[in-house]
Amino acid sequence: MSKEREPLVTHIYTADPSAHVYNDKIYVYPSHDVPHDGEDNDNGDEYKMEDYHVLSMDDIGAECVDHGVALSEEDVPWVSHQMWAPDVAYKNGKYYLYFPARDKDDNFRLGVAVSDKPEGPFVPEKDYIEGSFSIDPAVLVDDDGKCYVYYGGLWGGQLEKWKTGCFDPEGKEPADEEPAVGPMCGVLRDDMLSFAEKPFHLEILDENGQPLKAGDQERRYFEGPWMHKYNGKYYFSYSTGTTHYIVYAVGDSPRGPFTYKGRIMEPVIGWTTHHSIIEYHGKWYLFYHDCELSGGINHRRCVKYTELHYNEDGTIQTIDPYDHKK
């Protein structure tokens, strides 16, 4: 039986969980860490993921089922390697798997694959989404039916190399006092396969209404976006990367701007942190990963979950992932 703050599965290494509720079941779409002995570096070469497994639970605390490989890099004509953190959206009676991977030129793009069932298998489009780049897609299907995909990651995610709209292999992060590089937002067409307009950078502001600075590493965006709604507000959450926090900002529109509010989770064991948030049977849950299962090896992670709590003013209570062991 899977339990709170314990690995959902232990027979494979999983990371970057995107959780959703379909047909009153919890489905988790993680990336799949392949064990190896290569080096760790800022380019992310240690993350050699090559396929996606779909996990599900009939209820919180129920046994977690691995439905097997739902999509592999061998299935996707444009992919060369590194299928990283995915997400899934449901619309038009179909399930759409969005995923990042390196193309034949070694640049990250976003692809999409389609299935009639939440567990897959998924059939990929022959090419990546035109105009897409970088990593970590997360999709919000809003109440009015419009769909937004949020994406982008620094360093290995190449986001800072696309500041001009074209790939610059020499692209750098801004200076510390300059506005941070923001995540991207793309509005999807009704077919869920292409952008309806040119993607744009989201604004994340401080308490004074000013853009977060690149040197503000405890609050600025790095990777791992997620969007959910609570009491009519849009909660945009993400990883700060170098400082290893999951934080959040709140806005009145899915297009932003968003105002930074605080931390959701303190650092976990391992370098990366990546999450998703769902409501299930009246309670809220945070799905995340750490490297506890592997004893701290950065590219051998495990997916976990824990309950998430809001204060009366709509702020989120900060979670210490290991306070239950103290």
CB 268 within 8 Å of CB 289: yes
CA angle 192, 226, 134 (to 5 degrees): 65
Residue 315: how many CB atoms within 10 A of its CB? Answer: 12
Backbone angles phi, psi at 73, to 5 degrees: -60, -25
| Mean pLDDT within 277-281 | 98
Q: Which residue is catalytic, options 33, 73, 223, 292?
A: 223
Helix (H, G, I), strand (E, B) or coil at 75: helix
* CATH fold label, 13-325: Tachylectin-2; Chain A (2.115.10)
Domain ranges across the chain: 13-325
In terms of Cα–Cα distance, which of 47, 3, 49 is closest to 29?
A: 49
The pLDDT value recorded for residue 190 is: 96
pLDDT one-digit tens code per residue, 81-111 = 999 999 999 999 999 999 999 999 999 999 9
Q: What percent of the chain has pLDDT over 70?
A: 99
Q: Which of 16, 46, 87, 160 is catalytic?
A: 16
Question: For residues 159 and 184, is the Cβ–Cβ distance under 8 A?
Answer: yes
Q: Cα–Cα distance between 286 and 269 in angstroms, integer?
A: 16
> What's the Cα-to-Cα distance from 254 to each of 155, 184, 202, 297, rounded to whole Å?
26, 12, 9, 36
DSSP annotation string for 92-152: TTEEEEEEEEE-TTS-EEEEEEEESSTT---EEPSSPPTT--SS--EEEE-TTS-EEEEE-
Q: Is the pLDDT of residue 14 over 60?
A: yes
| Distance, CA of 116 to CA of 88 (rounded, Å) | 12
Two tokens at 46? 């240690």
Q: In the β-sheet with 258-265, what is the strand arrangement from edge to edge?
A: 204-205, 258-265, 246-251, 233-239, 223-230
**Is residue 52 within 8 Å of residue 83, measured between CB atoms?**
yes
Which one-letter amino acid corresponds to residue 75?
A: D
- The single-letter DSSP state of residue 211 is B
> What pLDDT does residue 2 have?
65
pLDDT of residue 290: 98
- 72: CB partners within 8 A, 6+ apart: 50, 51, 52
How far CA 99 is from CA of 4, 269, 314, in Å, comes to: 27, 25, 31
Give the whole-number percent of the chain exceeding pLDDT 90.
Answer: 93
| Residue 205 tokens, joined | 């502001």
| 16 counts as catalytic | yes
User: Which tokens hold the place of 26?
Assistant: 């919890």
Q: Is the pLDDT of residue 1 over 80?
A: no
User: Per this entry, what is the length of the chain?
Assistant: 326
Q: How confident is the model at residue 288 (pLDDT cuts 50, 70, 90)?
A: very high
pLDDT tens for residues 142-164? Answer: 999 999 999 999 999 999 999 98
Question: Helix (H, G, I), strand (E, B), or coil: what is residue 156?
Answer: helix
